Amino acid sequence: MSGVTAFIYSDEYLKYNFGPFHPFRPDREKKTLELLRKLGVINGISTRVYEPKVATEEELTLVHDPEYIYFVREKSEQGYGLLDYGDTPATRGIYEGAAARAGGSLLGADLIMRGEVAHAFNPGGGLHHARRSSAAGFCVFNDVALAARHLQRKYGLERVAIVDVDGHHGDGTQEIFNREKILTISFHRYGFFFYPGTGGVDEIGDGEGYGYAVNVPLPAGTNPASYLYAFKEIVPPLLQSYEPQIILHQFGVDSHYEDPLVGLSLTTAAYKAIAETMHRLAHELCDGRYLIFGGGGYAPENVARCWAVVFITVAEKMPESLEEYLKLFDRGETEVKGEVSRDIEAIVRRVKEKVFPLHGVEL
């Protein structure tokens, strides 16, 4: 059922390096590609690697303030200090690394819109905390928002859906589109003192965008069965009603149970189920147009495995060895088992009551 699936990668991504003691490891994308090659998944026919160009300043201004872009370039040349008020250091080359990753997301959008590929995965993207004029949470340029703006301006798209499954709230993306009819749905851990602190059920957008920001706040420890229940109750009906022309998907994997920063408890089997659902929806609703980004993921030995499962699932290209495929999965389990918690049922009900009526979707 699929056409070509693109894997977007450039060695320039390695310049997105916050230093040896920072939790964001810049080589996660390279490791993912190496793993996919080792598994025999990249065949150059239905699955291909594309190398992006670095995003130009003009492209970055689709979302970002010129002064902010200038600031990042200056700090990148200096090579010290901070890009935000806390956890996003300025290091030499960070500008080029960030612009390359943004270029990857723009290339993914172009490949899909030109019909060269059906699906594209830019694991170097998904930097969803970045704002119009500031860095935040290890994110310098918001490539998710850039891709959406590019699709609006260059291809005239009006209905772009953005689904975000990173363990943290997609706050930068939400803020950029807060007053527009760009559907953003974010699933994330939520609670006191958990970064970034936003993403409650009541945040649903403003003005023209009222009802188009959807937040699914999850308690620490949410298990895969509960997560998938929430996902399947909320995402398909909203997307079916919205009728997107393309689906954008921030696929951070810091919601994995071994991730040191988040505290949710997803497994690779859960990521497979999420990717299957989204892939099916893309074919059902928008001719397969499905652009996936990376995002968080701070247990480096797991990230490549998680993203390999996502890519294999969407490309529908099985590794040559079943044994090697099964090794990608936590405990070898390819399906999610377990019970849906009561807490989650209550949260899902609140989200539905808040936004479903605004989209004419039955509760």
Nearer to Zn ion, 84 or 180 (CB): 84
Measured torsion, CA atoms of residues 77, 80, 81, 83, in degrees rounded to the nearest 10:
40
Q: Which stretch binds Zn ion (CB under 5 A): 17-25, 77-85, 253-261, 345-353?
A: 253-261
> What SS3 state is found at 242?
helix
Nearer to Zn ion, 54 or 274 (CB): 274
Q: Cβ 107 to Zn ion, closest distance in Å?
A: 19
The residue type at 254 = D
Q: Pick from 84, 110, 254, 330: which binds Zn ion (CB under 5 A)?
A: 254
Site string for Zn ion, 147-166 (x = CB under 5 A): -------------------x
Q: Cβ 277 to Zn ion, closest distance in Å?
A: 13
Confirm or reject binding of residue 110 to Zn ion (CB under 5 A).
Answer: no
Of 261-290, binders to Zn ion (CB under 5 A) are 288
Q: Cβ 13 to Zn ion, closest distance in Å?
A: 17
| β-bridge mates for residue 247, sequence order | 161, 290
- CB distance 110 to 19 below 8 Å: no
Measured in whole angstroms, the distance separating CA 352 from the mean position of its chain's CA atoms is 23
CA neighbor of 270 nearest in space, from 203, 187, 199, 214 = 187
CA neighbor of 30 nearest in space, from 49, 54, 43 = 49
Confirm or reject binding of residue 244 to Zn ion (CB under 5 A).
Answer: no
Q: Cβ 261 to Zn ion, closest distance in Å?
A: 7
Q: Cβ 130 to Zn ion, closest distance in Å?
A: 13
Confirm or reject binding of residue 252 to Zn ion (CB under 5 A).
Answer: yes
Of 166-205, binders to Zn ion (CB under 5 A) are 166-168
Confirm or reject binding of residue 2 to Zn ion (CB under 5 A).
Answer: yes
Token pair 């609703």 is at which residue? 285
Nearer to Zn ion, 46 or 240 (CB): 46
Report how many residues bind Zn ion under the rule CB under 5 A: 8
Strands (E), the chain: 5-8, 47-50, 119-122, 160-164, 183-189, 213-218, 246-250, 290-293
The DSSP call for residue 14 is G
* CA separation for the pair 316, 2 (Å, rounded): 7
Catalytic residues: 129
Nearer to Zn ion, 166 or 330 (CB): 166
Rg (CA), the chain: 19
Q: Cβ 289 to Zn ion, closest distance in Å?
A: 10
Nearer to Zn ion, 60 or 165 (CB): 165
Token pair 């954008």 is at which residue? 248
Nearer to Zn ion, 54 or 120 (CB): 120
269 contact partners, CB below 8 Å, separation of at least 6 = 224, 329, 330, 333, 334, 335, 336
- CB distance 175 to 213 below 8 Å: no
Q: Pick from 24, 296, 306, 344: which binds Zn ion (CB under 5 A)?
A: 296
Residues that bind Zn ion (CB under 5 A): 2, 166-168, 252, 254, 288, 296
